A and B are shown apart, each in its own frame.
Chain A
Amino acid sequence: MKRRTFIQALSAAGALGFMGPDAAKALVPNGYTGPLLLQVQADGGWDVTSYCDPKTNQPGAPIITNWSKSLEPGQAGGITYAPFANNEWFFKRHHQRMLVINGIDLQTNSHTTGVLHNWSGRNAEGYPSLTALFAAHHAPDVPMPYINFGGFGATENVIGFTRLQDNPELLKSVLDPNLNFYHRPNEHWDYEGPVTLRRNEDLSLIQRYRSHRQERLTSSIPAQTREFNNLNAYIDAVQNREPLRQFSPYLPDEEETAAPIEMMHTNLKAQVQIISAAFAAGVTGAADLQLGGFDTHDKHDDLHAPLLTYLNESIDLIWQLAEQGGYADRLTVVIGSDFSRTPHYNSQDGKDHWPIGSVIVMQDHPSWGSQSVGFTDEGHNALRVDPATMLKDANQGTILYPKHVHQTLRRLTGLENTALDFNFPFRSTPVLPIFDA
């Protein structure tokens, strides 16, 4: 049966209207139905003063944002945003799902360290991403527990990650390896049944012998060797792949797939479509999406405006598809970047690296929605907050660091006090009441 191939008219955001899986096919049999995590990595260092921590020009100070020459920051619920790119549309549309955490000190202006710090919670090597921890705890046995599109993806051996690329057709071609992909049923063929490469009887026979072989290898290879570790990964791969066969129908058809945009480094919308299909199908639990290009050392405004617009459209698409897929109430979205950009322009109209950043956390109908925590001053310096109230406290307060964000995100996502949490502790770090509003 040919899957419907209509394309919805472009949404208000301009996003391609891929509708997600049919409601009648909500999940593959025994698919994953637990909590979901999606982290969107804006690579290169986004400018939050033109986004969720707006800053306006001050007399006697260098120009901090060109947009504030003529505009004032906007307000969406409890969130103040910069009226730049399509931010107004985005924040007004999604502020109730959103908590903005501003004034996070990444303690570096190095990309490598910024990425490491923001996504692992530590500026030293050795900790996995929140995505990896989440997948290892909530969804270790699904076919693709942790999907990564090329951004930060340290796992520290708590789980393996599956590398995908933004091409649904290519992905489909290997979800059921025995399908002869050159002879898929379509309007040019009378025969609508599957055309396979080998008989299922033969494959079953091979799999039976393969299983026995794996048992023999497991018992003969010394533990705590690379060979043993890799064998375990191999056995997991063989055993957990079955649901992938049923994943294909949920992926967008070629004509439904968002087209790449020329100046974008990556097709984030296609990544969203693929991950949304994987969430709906129940074959993954967590994923990192990636959009590069934010390292705007020159022509900052010219480059940042379309990037933020595209990022906003992509996040909107995440929620459109989550609603259509029926899993919006299980989804947490975290959006962040290496760090932010200087509170002034350089001689090439660019902005260089600045260690104070922001993170946006989204859920559907959260109690903490439409709020902002953490503070920066007019020069975008981080201000201290009272760890009990999250109010400004210049004297006794603490600077927000990624470890604080990760500590509270672990609680929010059900990782607190788990074995993984204990294995990768943030010592002497309180759980701040970031989400307790």
Chain B
Amino acid sequence: MKKKCLQTLVLTAILTGTTSLALGQDSFSWDVDGDGKQTPLTDGLLVIRYLFGFTGPSLIQGAVDDQALRQDPTAISAYLDDNQALLDVDGDGKAAPLSDGLIVIRYLFGFSGESLIQNALTQNASRTTSNLIEAYLASHSTESSGNGGNEPTPQSKTLFETDISALLLSRCLGCHYEGGPATATPLRYVPQSDPDYLTKNYDVLVNYITANTSRGETLLAKASGGTAHGGGPVLDSSKDEYAALSRFVDLVTEEKSAGENDSEPVSNAHTTFFKSSKLLAADATLRRATMLLLGRNPSPAERDRLGEGASQDLRAAIRMATQSPEFHEFLIRGANDRLLTDAFVEGIPIEQASIEGNGFYPLGTNAHANAQAKAGERFFHWPKYNHWRWGLARAPLELIAHIVDNDLDYREVLTADYTMMNYAVNDFLNGGAEFDPVDPETFTYCQSQPDEPCYDHRQFKPAKNKGQSLLTEDLQVMETEFQSQRITQHADFIQYPHAGVLNTQAFLNRYPSTETNRNRARARWTFYHFLGIDIEKSAPRTTDPVALADTDNPTLKNPACTVCHQVLDPVAGAFQHYGDVGYYNESWGGLDALPYNYKSAVPDPAQSPTFIDGKEFVVENEEFGPVFETTFDSPAQTVYIRVEFTNDYADEGGDRNAFFDSLSLEGASQSLTIEFENLPEGWRSHGCGGPQWQAYGQYCQGGVVFPVDLDNSGEYTLQLKLRGDQYGGDPVRVLVSVDSDALGPDALRYAEGDTWYKDMRLPGFLSSTVATGEPSLQWLADQLVKDPWFAEAAIKFWWPSLMGTEIVAAPEVIDDEQFDNKLALYEAQQSYIKDMAGQFSVGIAGGVPFNGRDLIIELLVSPWFRLIELAEPDVAANPLGGRRLLTPEELEAKFQQLSGFYWGNANDEFQEWHISGRYTRLAEEFQILYGGIDSRNVTKRTEQITPLMFNIAEKLALETACEVVIRDFQAMPEARRILKRVDALTTPERTFLARTRADIPSSAFDTVIEFSTALSAGEVLVHVSFLNHFGDENGSRNARFDQLVLVAPDGAETIIEFESPPSGTQINGCGHTDETYHQLSCNGSIEVPIPISVSGDYSIRLVAAGEQYGDEPVKVALALTDSDSGEPSLKAQIVDLHHQLLGEVLTIDHKEIAATYELLRDSFISRKSDGLNRVDEWPSQSCPNHAWRDTNLNGEDPSYMKGSWINVLTYLMTDFRFLHE
């Protein structure tokens, strides 16, 4: 097993690069440490660090194999020093980390083609194609890496060039080109006019064929007109051209297979990692997938689609499941686990949502003013404002869900030229989407705002922001009587340059910027979410305090800082148009988003390349008097003297200003004095100020520059008379400098038209720079999605929500326990991710490129999701596989699908103050205590259950099992959710035979309920039940039973009068006996024993009446049981429950079924023994979850089985396998 310390892995993986610059030494190879292998995480890491300027221990930390020939940093540096010229991979004349280094690390990771050179070639590169680059890299390769190198040309390539290319150009290119009729397929070719057409087209075809094993056959079938080829037959299968294509497919397949066998462990680690391991069967995989995605078991249709469980059928079945509406909720949850933008619906205010006097949003602001006027007060209840906030907050998550759920190109996550809007956002941002009104009865806010259109705020549609303005002189506002403002005039609405998620208000606001942060947080999270690179985590570098104390623009100049900032800052610059909270070009005037302090800052004159000398004076005097002095050396020349006030300050109480009186200059043979009210010709000024009587007044930051001719070379003494209006705690500060250039540091000063800081790197990405005037964030989005890491990042993005744990980090310390196993796991995961990213990019299993649904499905059918047990025990792999703890949201979804209701919230109850309209106990109230996240303070989910969490799970069961059981038994069997195989009267002692229910609409005894059934000789119990008691202070609904008639097969009738029932009759529930009937005055039942002497078909008639009250008639049930044990039915039901709740597929004689049955039976015996014929007897039993519902739930339990099933359900709902899937 390789042993490597992998510190700073990910960032360095990007940065790491290449080779040395030897002076043409033939012996040079990428095996920098000389261990006989060339690997990205040792040799690549060394090269990139070297190119970044690392030396000493920091050069080799964690990057030298313990078998290496060169382990000493001096030896490594010397080797690379000697070969430095060879590191110039792109041939632009210099070796640089973000071009040459990037290419090398990619090469060593196995990238080829466009992925190898994307964003990594400089403008001066002489090797401009992947072919040339690969050939160069291969010329210094010790082994076969990537697709390049010094391998012989593959036979397939030769065949392609001789035979296949011509076929493509003549038969396929007509449709298969970018934007052409067949653009939805990954087979998109370039014409012969493209200088690299042979390689590009070869790569396209090979990538297609090798994506999976069936692709070759698909290609041949389509070429001959099969498999619904849109272009019909293009090759005759009997001709040579078809045979050539067939041969080509074979060659490609063989070469791929051979390559896999030869490849290094990293590249195929995942294929061997699971060798001989136990994986979930297809049906269990389908169940686990639907349970985690949707909270339910597979539907019958989905199970049917699974068929015999072939892998393509499993994919199809999961695909069918993802068509369910619940999938959208999964996508929202999963996306939020990464972006955490739901912080804005969990309490953090989204600052961009302000519409009180907000000039950026004239429509919203005026709508708010109108609503205030209508309400007649400043503060009022306005649901639409909440909906606007929520709409902005949810936009990034809704965009991602929209893209995946509609099978759009996943790259639109960053490149979409639209955003997702609900009705409120659509109104305020002039989105132009159409929404259908909904039923006001369902949405309470519609009732409180009857004059406003009624829309569901949870419905989002794609739309464009055409309602945002800029703050310019066109803006005019009018104060309202409610201390608000109405916008009466504003600049034209901008065409908001949508860049997918990147410039949604929520994304920008979730990672706010500051004047010193300068969008770096946004850049950091952009790298993390969309390239899968955690720059901050990848920089546990030793930080030299001296370097950190460096105030000379360290992020641009100091190697201790530039290692990250060289990568980070150009991306930060691409966010240049977005201010601290994310408003577009928020500066007054609307030209940029740069802060005032930067624009007005006095640049450091020492930054000027022609700087001669300078000094800052602290001017504490309020009157001219003291002389401030400095000296400098200069040759005879014209110099430019700058005098600048640097710390302006003012508030309502006063103002700090500087005043310049005179300047004297003394040289060996020259002396002169300049009065500031009379500056020499050629003087210039910055900032507000000007000459005044006997001085120059400077009232904001800035000052004057003027030329002075120095007659001789030598030392000069410069004296100044200055004074200040002191205010604000600090004394006035004046910076004086001498420069030989008229402009000097002015090159660093903000100028109108600038959109980014002059003292930062230009906006861009890696080695590319965005052109001036181009929408930089849209440009960045285009670059990001082209980067090979984008596809990998998509896998990392969805991994935690599917697998229940993060992708493992690289082990960093070789001496750690389990280092080898951790490394093997890490490499296997990275290998899988890379492989899957490749498939995602070209289209998974024949699909279109970048289909998010395909990706999620593929992750679900992978061994990572299906693992039960590794062939060889590996502690490091413990976080893998099944039975992970359900999150609160997942458990809630599972419970809701099971029960049909939520814990703590009625289905039909709309909570206006909550974004989902629902506030439940599990997913909201106990969200954190049950290990969930609030996207604010708690952002990492708990992965194992704790005593407190078990208590919550048990409380869920204890508060709801009662309602689940009662509701189910009150429903007809076909409408039940879980207890479909038994009746409440099925007990360990009795078998349920038949039941009928009926309404008794009349108050007279003129209703007869009758049904027939076959009975065996013995004793039966006839159960007569009253189901829907209702009463209030004005009346009561009761049931009255007159007579029961049993008609034997021979016609003989047994008549039972309820006022005098036979011995053994048991009456449960309150009531009384009248002269001719018995009345049940609450829900209850009467059980009448009847002996059956002859087996046969019997008819039973019940004569009943109702004391009617309320809005429904009296409802009664008539049922029969006999004295056989109900065990078979009960066990059959238990088998179902184990499957439905726990995912266990068991036979009726399994020991778990026996155990659960025994619990049921023991519960029955105990409850019967204690005479518990209700399930909610205060104070020892209660069913609180339905207490606040209108539903009339029948807590009577004459058979003791409702209470017994509640026990069983509690047992199952608190089972390990209910809480873990």
CB B574 to nearest CB in A, in angstroms, measures 21
CA distance A352 to B516 in the complex (A): 8
B-contacting residues, A178-197, CB 8 Å: 178, 180, 182-183, 191, 193-197
How far apart sit A109 and B549, CA to CA, in the bound complex (Å)?
12
A217 touches B548 (CB 8 A): no
CB <8 Å contact, A423 and B945: no
The yes or no answer to B365 lying at the interface (CB within 8 A) is no
**Chain A residues whose C-beta falls within 8 Å of the C-beta of B815 in the assembled complex:** 427
Is B1181 an interface residue, CB under 8 A from the partner?
yes
Question: Considering only CB atoms, which chain A residue lies closest to B875 in the complex?
Answer: A224
Q: A107-B540, A202-B1163, A206-B1210 are in contact. Are A216 and B1151 (CB under 8 A)?
A: yes
- The chain B residue with its CB closest to the CB of A125 is B809
Query: Known: A222-B868, A292-B937, A297-B514. Is A110-B545 also a contact (CB below 8 A)?
Result: no
Q: How far is the CA of A335 from the CA of B546 in the complex (A)?
A: 27
Q: Are B813 and A226 in contact (CB under 8 A)?
A: no
Determine whether the beta carbon of B949 is less than 8 Å from that of A237. Answer: yes
Against A, the Cβ 8 Å flags (1 = close, 0 = not) of B521-548 are 0000000000000101101111101101
- Verify B938–A108 contact, CB threshold 8 A: no
A259 to B1066, CA, bound (A): 58
Q: Mark A235-266, 1 if CB is under 8 A from B, else 0.
A: 01110110010000000000000000000011
Q: How far is the CA of A249 from the CA of B546 in the complex (A)?
A: 54
Contact A226:B884 (CB < 8 A) given known A162-B946, A347-B515: yes
- Which residues of B are found within 8 Å of A108, using beta-carbon distances? 539-541, 543
Binding site secondary structure of chain B: loop
Cβ B951 vs Cβ A213 within 8 A: no
Q: Is the CB of B929 within 8 A of A224?
A: no
Task: Determine if A161 is an interface residue (Cβ-Cβ < 8 Å).
Answer: yes
CA distance A348 to B513 in the complex (A): 12
Interface size on B, residues (CB 8 A): 99
CA of A105 to CA of B543, assembled, Å: 9
Contacts of B883 in A (CB 8 A): 226-227, 230-231
Contact B948 A174 (CB under 8 A): yes
A interface residues, how many (CB within 8 angstroms): 99
User: Smallest distance from the beta carbon of B368 to chain A beta carbons, Å?
Assistant: 24
Interface pair A160/B944, CB less than 8 Å apart: yes
Interface stretch of the complex, out of A27-35, A92-100, A111-119: A111-119
From 96 to 136 in chain A, residues with beta carbon under 8 angstroms from any chain B beta carbon are 105, 107-113, 116-117, 122-126
**Of all chain A residues, which has the CB nearest B955?**
A177
B877 contacts which chain A residues (CB < 8 A)?
Answer: 224
Complex alpha-carbon distance, A212 and B1207, angstroms: 16
Please name all residues of chain A whose beta carbon is closer than 8 Å to the beta carbon of B548 when the two chains form the complex: 109, 342, 353-355
Q: B1158–A230 contact, CB under 8 A?
A: no
Determine the distance from Cα of A123 to Cα of B1182 in the docked complex, in whole angstroms. 53
How far does the alpha carbon of A290 sit from the alpha carbon of B939 in the complex, in Å?
14
Interface 9-residue window, one of A11-19, A164-172, A406-414:
A164-172
Given known A113-B540, A170-B929, A226-B879, contact A297–B517 (CB-CB < 8 A):
yes
Segment 918-958 of B: residues with Cβ below 8 Å from A:
925-926, 928-929, 931, 937-938, 942, 944-952, 954-955, 958
Tell me if B1206 is interfacial: C-beta within 8 Å of chain A. Answer: yes
Interface residue B57 (Cβ < 8 Å from any Cβ of A): no
With an 8 A cutoff between CB atoms, is B143 at the interface? no
A165 touches B928 (CB 8 A): yes
B1216 contacts the other chain (CB 8 A):
yes
Number of A-B residue pairs, CB cutoff 8 Å, is 271
Contacts of B989 in A (CB 8 A): none
Kindly state whether residue A163 has any CB partner on chain B within 8 Å. Answer: yes
Q: Which residues of A contact B962 (CB under 8 A)?
A: 197
Measured CB to CB, the closest approach of chain A to B647, in angstroms, equals: 10
Q: How far is the CB of B518 from chain A (nearest CB, A)?
A: 11
| CB closest chain-A residue, reference B1219 | A234
Residue of B nearest to A350 (CB): B516
From known contacts A197-B1182, A224-B875, infer whether A113 and B536 are also in contact, taking CB-CB under 8 Å. yes
CB-CB under 8 A from B622, the residues of chain A are none
Asked if B97 lies at the interface with its beta carbon under 8 angstroms from chain A, I say no
The answer to whether A37 has its CB under 8 Å from any CB of chain B is no
**CB-based contact A347/B7 at 8 Å:** no
Contacts of B955 in A (CB 8 A): 173-174, 177, 197
Which parts of B561-586 form the interface with A (CB within 8 Å)? none
Q: Does B1211 contact A (CB under 8 A)?
A: yes
Let me know if B868 and A110 touch, CB within 8 A: no
The verdict on A233 contacting chain B, using a C-beta distance below 8 Å, is: yes
**Residues of chain B within 8 A of A430, CB atoms compared:** none
CB closest residue in chain A, given B1215? A213
- Min Cβ gap A250→B in Å is 15
CB closest chain-B residue, reference A265: B937
Decide if A199 touches B945 in the complex (CB within 8 Å): no
Residues of A within 8 A of B546 (CB): 381
Is there an interface contact between A124 and B7, defined as CB atoms closer than 8 Å? yes
Q: Which of chain B's residues have a CB closer than 8 A to the CB of A344?
A: 551
Q: Looking across the interface, which residue of chain B has its beta carbon closest to that of A354?
A: B548
Task: Decide yes or no whether A382 CB sits under 8 A from chain B.
Answer: yes
Instruction: Taking A202-B1206, A347-B598 as given, write out 17 further A-B residue pairs in contact, using a Cβ cutoff of 8 Å, ordered by the A residue number.
Output: A107-B542, A108-B543, A112-B534, A113-B540, A164-B928, A173-B955, A177-B952, A178-B958, A196-B1182, A202-B1163, A224-B873, A233-B946, A241-B947, A292-B937, A297-B514, A348-B514, A355-B548
Could you name 18 residue pairs across A and B whose Cβ atoms are closer than 8 Å?
A: A108-B543, A109-B548, A112-B534, A124-B7, A126-B813, A143-B947, A150-B928, A174-B926, A209-B1158, A209-B1159, A214-B1216, A224-B877, A225-B878, A226-B882, A230-B885, A230-B944, A234-B1219, A237-B946
Considering the complex of A and B, which 4 residue pairs feature the smallest CB-CB distances, nearest first?
A: A241-B947, A124-B812, A227-B883, A177-B955
